Chains A and B, each alone.
Chain A
Amino acid sequence: GDSVTQMEGPVTLSEEAFLTINCTYTATGYPSLFWYVQYPGEGLQLLLKATKADDKGSNKGFEATYRKETTSFHLEKGSVQVSDSAVYFCALVTGTASKLTFGTGTRLQVTL
């Protein structure tokens, strides 16, 4: 079956540091890939997505590139801010199904 593996957290960074959160996947079909973010006290929100190989999703300074050859969708940001502190979830969906398969989530803590 489909699965998503994310790096263990928490990740603690100083403001303006470079962020990478690794995500790899296995899927029976040709998945669409997503990063969702959950800020404290809020629901999960779609951060970015990519629907085919070599697509780059981007939003709010975050980027992730769909790498079919390495089955990866790593999340990056060049300079994190305290307001980026949240839990980040990598997810996939295959076909036209609406059932997202999530990773465990990675907590990011950014300090001044």
Chain B
Amino acid sequence: EPEVTQTPSHQVTQMGQEVILRCVPISNHLYFYWYRQILGQKVEFLVSFYNNEISEKSEIFDDQFSVERPDGSNFTLKIRSTKLEDSAMYFCASSGPATNTGELFFGEGSRLTVL
């Protein structure tokens, strides 16, 4: 069964360092997303991406964040200068070509720890 894959599963970084989280969405999907969950808190929407551009982003997704689909298969989230409060589980998701119905397919998540 097709699945969304994310790497790395866990990354530890120093505050101020750049981090890139990678995702391979399901191959025929057209919509891509990043969500995050700070420990003990809600899963929060960060950004959605369609047709090679951001379609929606949350207030969390400030200038420190960027997304890219560099090669038609990977979908990346970059954090330019990490802060302690960026420590969280980051989930990538994708959805199919039909009009969105809220049925997203999620990866296992990448846990980011900022020291």
Interface residues of A (CB under 8 A from B): 4, 32, 34, 36, 41-46, 49, 51, 89, 91-93, 96-105
Known: A41-B108, A43-B4, A43-B109. Contact between A98 and B102, CB under 8 A?
A: yes
**What are 8 A-B interface contacts by the 8 Å CB criterion?**
A4-B42, A43-B105, A43-B107, A49-B101, A51-B101, A93-B100, A98-B31, A105-B37
Contact A104 B42 (CB under 8 A): yes
Does the CB pair B104–A101 fall under 8 Å? no
Which B residues between 14 and 54 are near A, CB-CB below 8 angstroms? 31, 33, 35, 37, 40-45, 48
Q: Is the CB of A96 within 8 A of B100?
A: yes
CB distance from A51 to the nearest CB of B (A): 8
| Residues of A contacting B45 in the complex (Cβ-Cβ under 8 angstroms) | 99-101
Verify A105–B43 contact, CB threshold 8 A: yes
A104 B40 Cβ-Cβ under 8 A: yes
Number of contacting residues on B, CB 8 A?
A: 31
**Nearest-CB residue, chain A, relative to B9:** A41
Contact B102 A102 (CB under 8 A): no
- CB-CB nearest in chain B for A33: B102
Bound together, the chains give a CA A91 to CA B99 distance in angstroms of: 18
B106: Cβ under 8 A from any A Cβ? yes
Determine the distance from Cα of A91 to Cα of B95 in the docked complex, in whole angstroms.
16
Is B103's CB under 8 angstroms from A49's CB? yes
B75 CB-CB contact with A under 8 Å = no
9 closest cross-chain pairs (CB), A and B:
A102-B43, A43-B106, A44-B106, A93-B102, A98-B100, A43-B108, A99-B45, A43-B107, A104-B42
Q: Which residues of A contact B93 (CB under 8 A)?
A: 44
When A43-B3, A43-B4, A44-B91 are in contact, do A100 and B108 touch as well, CB less than 8 Å?
no
Chain A residues whose CB sits within 8 angstroms of the CB of B101 once the complex forms: 32, 49, 51
* A100 adjacent to B102 (CB under 8 Å): yes
Question: Closest Cβ of chain A: how far from B106's Cβ, in Å?
Answer: 4
Q: Is the CB of A91 within 8 A of B102?
A: yes
Whether A97 contacts B100 by the Cβ 8 Å rule is: yes
